Amino acid sequence: MPVITSIDDLKRLYKSRAPRMFYDYCESGSWTEQTFRENSSDFDQIRLRQRVAVSIDNRATASRMIGEDVAMPVALAPVGMTGMQHADGEILAAKAAEKFGVPFTLSTMSICSIEDVAEATSKPFWFQLYTMKDEDYVRRLVERARAARCSALVITLDLQILGQRHKDLKNGLSAPPKLTPAVIADLATRWRWGLGMLQTRRREFRNIVGHVKDISDPASLMAWTNENFDLTLDWGKIAKLKELWGGKVILKGILDAEDARMALKVGADAIVVSNHGGRQLDGALSSIRVLPEILDAVGDEIEVHLDSGIRSGQDVLKAVAMGAKGTYIGRAFIYGLGAMGEAGVTRALEVIHKELDVSMALCGKRDIKQVNRDILRVPEDFGGRWQR
């Protein structure tokens, strides 16, 4: 077993083990990738304030997200095609999350279905919903999530139309991959991946295939998205979805204070400040940079979570110190999964947890719930001076 000391180690191993097409799918942002890059580089601009000679015995990283106990304020973000990064990827990631004590969010665009994941786990997970034109299908999807005892519906709002990632088009991304000569040459060097895939029957979008009539190309995420996502989604429809679900609702993809106020108005339980990991509107601000503005607008009235750019426990600490009540990791857990399956996801969580715990201690805090802006050095112009 290789010695893994950082998320970067997992990323290197993942790159050598997953097919190129799926690595590129994960490790890209839209168009110029400016927002994708800044999600990480903006975290780097924030520094931590070292404190000494305070007791750091008996530390605690446990807290709560939407009223659920979490071992640390980190959930696994919904990631489409996770089951193509590693055979049965969603099941393995959900199991690792359950054992670690953090929430797992299953994407609508997953390979393993809601029922597959429910069968393999014992704790309720969260289900992420993309809203489609076919209202009957959406209703059935919500019912399936309820039947599987999902404890929250995460409605993603920033992907009704697809941001372009050049590599996905050039690679002909699909699930399962189409066996072109280039793909066959690549797969020949990824025997672990191939072996896993041969041993599972879960190789297509199982929340969709068999549940929708007349799908023209279920293998292509892009074709499916372009044809089926509901371009007319608005706050009225979100309110109706909330009513249909009847349970906890998290609205994901909020990047503007005005939208945060609307989310509050429709009665969401939490919002996720997110730019979809830099995969949608290139040129949008990083999540960590807009977080303060959104907290000023709604922070006292609704739980504010954040994702996009988190690659370490220090990033989690910075987001929490800025005021986020929870964070999500997308790529960081995919690196682990693609590198080593369930053990890799567990390792990613362990790495992040240790970095969070040690950094918190070196900032002189022993409980994540006591962490606040005091431990940060934020550049004076971090929010930026932007003209409207």
Ligand X SMILES: Cc1cc2nc3c(=O)[nH]c(=O)nc-3n(C[C@H](O)[C@H](O)[C@H](O)COP(=O)(O)O)c2cc1C
105 annotated ligand binder: no
Residue 16 token pair: 């050598």
- The catalytic position among 166, 211, 276, 305 is 276
Q: Please, what is the minimum distance in Å from the beta carbon of residue 15 to ligand X? A: 14
CA–CA separation, 53 vs 361, rounded Å? 11
Q: Please, what is the minimum distance in Å from the beta carbon of residue 108 to ligand X? A: 6
308 annotated ligand binder: yes
Question: Which residues of the shown chain bind ligand X in the complex (CB under 6 A)?
Answer: 25-26, 39, 77-80, 107, 109, 128, 156, 252, 274, 276-277, 279, 307-310, 329-332
Q: Enter the DSSP assignment of 132.
A: B
Measured from the CB atom, the residue of 77 and 291 that comes closer to ligand X is: 77
CA–CA separation, 223 vs 42, rounded Å? 33
176 annotated ligand binder: no
Measured from the CB atom, the residue of 25 and 125 that comes closer to ligand X is: 25
252 annotated ligand binder: yes
Q: Please, what is the minimum distance in Å from the beta carbon of residue 154 to ligand X? A: 7
Measured from the CB atom, the residue of 77 and 322 that comes closer to ligand X is: 77
Give the three-class secondary structure for 99: helix
Q: Please, what is the minimum distance in Å from the beta carbon of residue 32 to ligand X? A: 17
Q: How far is CA 319 from CA 46, 97, 254, 330, 352, in A?
A: 10, 20, 15, 15, 13
Secondary structure (DSSP) of 223-260: HHHHHHB-TT--HHHHHHHHHHH-S-EEEEEE-SHHHH
User: Which residue in this structure is represented by tokens 């959930």?
Assistant: 75
Measured from the CB atom, the residue of 25 and 224 that comes closer to ligand X is: 25
Q: Which residue is nearest to ligand X (CB)?
A: 330
Q: Which of 158, 157, 170 is nearest to 35 (CA)?
A: 158
Give the three-class secondary structure for 329: strand
25 annotated ligand binder: yes
The verdict on whether 276 is a catalytic residue reads yes
Do residues 94 and 120 lie in contact, with contact meaning Cβ atoms separated by under 8 Å?
A: yes
Could you tell me which residues are annotated as the binding site for glyoxylate? 25, 165, 276, 279
Could you tell me which residues are annotated as the binding site for FMN? 78-80, 107, 128, 130, 156, 252, 274, 307-311, 330-331
Active-site positions read: 276
Could you tell me which residues are annotated as the binding site? 25, 78-80, 107, 128, 130, 156, 165, 252, 274, 276, 279, 307-311, 330-331
